[in-house]
Amino acid sequence: MPGAVIAAARQFLRSFAKPCRILVAVSGGSDSKGLLLALHSVIGNRDRDGFSLAACTIDHALRPESADEAAAVAAFCAELGIPHRVCRWEGNKPRTGIQAAARLKRYELLADAAAELGADCIATAHTRDDQRETVAMRSARGEGEGPGSAGMASAVLYGRRIWVLRPFLGLSRADIRAFLTARGVEWLDDPSNANPLFERVRVRTELKASQEAPVAPWSAAQRAASSARAAALIERHVRVHETVVAEVAAAQAGNMSDTDWRRALLSVAAVLGGRNHLPGHATIERIAGFVQAGIAGRMTAGGVVYDRRPNGLYLYREARSLSDCVVGPGEANVWDGRFSVTNGGRYPVIVTASHRDSQWDQRLIDAGLLPGIAKRAARAAPHIAPAPADAAGLVQAKVECRIALYDTFLPGFDRTMANAVAMLFGREPYPAPPVFDDFDRNGEGPGGLPWQGDARTLC
Ligand SMILES: Nc1ncnc2c1ncn2[C@@H]1O[C@H](COP(=O)(O)OP(=O)(O)OP(=O)(O)O)[C@@H](O)[C@H]1O
């Protein structure tokens, strides 16, 4: 139904709190050309109601034809009168994990282009078909069994700086192609979409052959409600000392049967371990067995020590596999996935795990922790010194706690929980999306963005 495409574009624009400039990520494939054309048809060239469009194509430079393909998108945008940038992925490419690396680079370049073109958000053209594939891939990897697994979010905050919105998540690719055909517009077929070396391509083929649609264990609305509840549990039961030790009150310490609480605890642990994902199913079971037993002792999982004491549960980074990192003058770097260090001085600095002579032990004891816990946790706390050690000069470095789990990609339905975690670690809340969402603190209401689609019911 070509009309569904225009309807989705209209609905998308209505969801904004105020009109803005939208950067459309256009690869040249049918979905993204359809998105650009539909938004342009609704907005027109007149900046109607304050909305305006810009577009960007990332040339990953992985295939010889990619530059020409990007130029073809540029020509299409020029015909429509839409400002367009081509951003090329320069430099060396990794030999393995090329798809994941390309994806990360793509979002970074899109965010830079949005800043350059004065856009307030990015729109990508992920469809219902992409959603089905994502759900199938996650469940094949066993991620579907994790606490609170949902499909792809309709809004994602990238790099704490810009929201990426997916207005076509409820539409099928066939609808978009019918819309383009009706308008006489052609599109590119990326040959990597037919390469069975890629997991997504294999899943797509399997889905075509299968009669069964994959079903996400949780809908976006359920996930948002779970996040709101997890946020409330975090506020009630967790304290974080000096950004390096989390303390869980005794009454809650042995609870692993409540899914929301479990996700909350594992999220806090992921931050302390500098990880951008929750542990896998087997590790979660191991952690659950340990804390539920309620016996004083320690276990380690995901680089985090779970230290069970009669008065509660304490979590802190294990003092192992802590590499040093050097930060040049005027540069920023991430240490151990946990701290961003910005060097404002004139000399390089080195970040290492805390030295015995550092003041971390005392700081943690002063914060109210038992000396045994303070001493262990202090060993994995950051210590910043001039590099090389005998270099003269003051260390002028700004250290900020990183939340690896959410700082690169934060799904909209997790924002409430992410903000509760941010508060624990002394960070500002994450910015709100430019669109109205229903992911309020109680998780009430339809629990999604108007164009959301439900990973479960729409599949
Ligand atoms: N080279 C590109 N240049 C600009 N936008 C792109 C490019 N590749 C993909 N996109 C945008 O991303 C959307 C999804 O593309 P695709 O399905 O290939 O990405 P994905 O890697 O599966 O998704 P995700 O990035 O969320 O994991 C496209 O519809 C388009 O809006």
Counting atoms of ligand 1 from 1, which one is nearest the CA of 124? Answer: 31
Name the closest-CA residue to atom 21, ligand 1.
103
Report the distance separating Cα 396 and Cα 370, nearest Å: 31
Provide the residue range defining the domain that includes 10.
2-209
Asked if 160 contacts 204 with a C-beta cutoff of 8 angstroms, the reply is no
What is the residue-wise DSSP string for 306-363?
EEEETTEEEEEE-SSS---EEE-TT-EEEETTTEEEEE-SSS-EEEEEPPTTSSHHHH
Domain boundary residue among 184, 209, 234?
209
Whole-number Å distance, alpha carbon 35 to ligand 1 midpoint, is: 12
* 326-349: average pLDDT: 93
Q: Is 50 exceeded by the pLDDT of residue 446?
A: no
User: Any known ligand binding at 68?
Assistant: no
Report the distance separating Cα 86 and Cα 106, nearest Å: 11
* 257-265: average pLDDT: 93
Report the distance separating Cα 131 and Cα 9, nearest Å: 18
Residue 268 in domain: no
Specify whether 45 is located in the same domain as 174: yes
Specify whether 45 is located in the same domain as 194: yes
Specify whether 192 is located in the same domain as 334: no
User: Any known ligand binding at 210?
Assistant: no
* 63-82: average pLDDT: 96
Q: For residue range 150-162, what is the model confidence (pLDDT) as tens digits?
A: 788 999 999 999 9
Residue 282 in domain: no
The helix (run of H) or strand (run of E) holding residue 418 is helix 415-424
Mean pLDDT (the chain, rounded)? 88
Report the distance separating Cα 372 and Cα 379, nearest Å: 11
Residue 234 in domain: no
User: Any known ligand binding at 453?
Assistant: no
What pLDDT is attached to residue 443? 37
Domain boundary residue among 187, 209, 231?
209
The token pair that represents 226 in the structure block:
């779970």
ipTM rounded to 2 decimals: 0.96
Residue 168 in domain: yes
Residue 12 in domain: yes
Q: What is the DSSP letter of 228?
A: H
Asked if 245 contacts 316 with a C-beta cutoff of 8 angstroms, the reply is yes
Residue 292 in domain: no
User: Any known ligand binding at 28?
Assistant: yes
What pLDDT is attached to residue 392? 63
∠344-348-354 over CA atoms, to 5°?
A: 95
Q: For residue range 43-59, what is the model confidence (pLDDT) as tens digits?
A: 985 555 799 999 999 99
Q: Is 70 exceeded by the pLDDT of residue 445?
A: no
The domain tally of the chain equals: 2
Asked if 122 contacts 162 with a C-beta cutoff of 8 angstroms, the reply is yes
Q: Is 90 exceeded by the pLDDT of residue 41?
A: yes
Name the closest-CA residue to atom 9, ligand 1.
27
Whole-number Å distance, alpha carbon 331 to ligand 1 midpoint, is: 30
Kindly report whether the global pTM for this prediction surpasses the value 0.95: no
Residue 196 in domain: yes
User: Any known ligand binding at 321?
Assistant: no
Whole-number Å distance, alpha carbon 124 to ligand 1 midpoint, is: 7
Asked if 6 contacts 41 with a C-beta cutoff of 8 angstroms, the reply is yes
Residue 172 in domain: yes
Q: Is 90 exceeded by the pLDDT of residue 440?
A: no
Domain boundary residue among 180, 209, 238?
209
Q: For residue range 184-210, what is the model confidence (pLDDT) as tens digits?
A: 999 998 777 767 777 767 766 766 766
CATH number, domain containing residue 141: 3.40.50.620
What pLDDT is attached to residue 394? 72
Whole-number Å distance, alpha carbon 27 to ligand 1 midpoint, is: 7
Q: List, chain by chain if needed, residues with CB within 6 Å of any ligand 1 atom.
A: 25-27, 31-32, 57-58, 103, 106, 124-126, 130
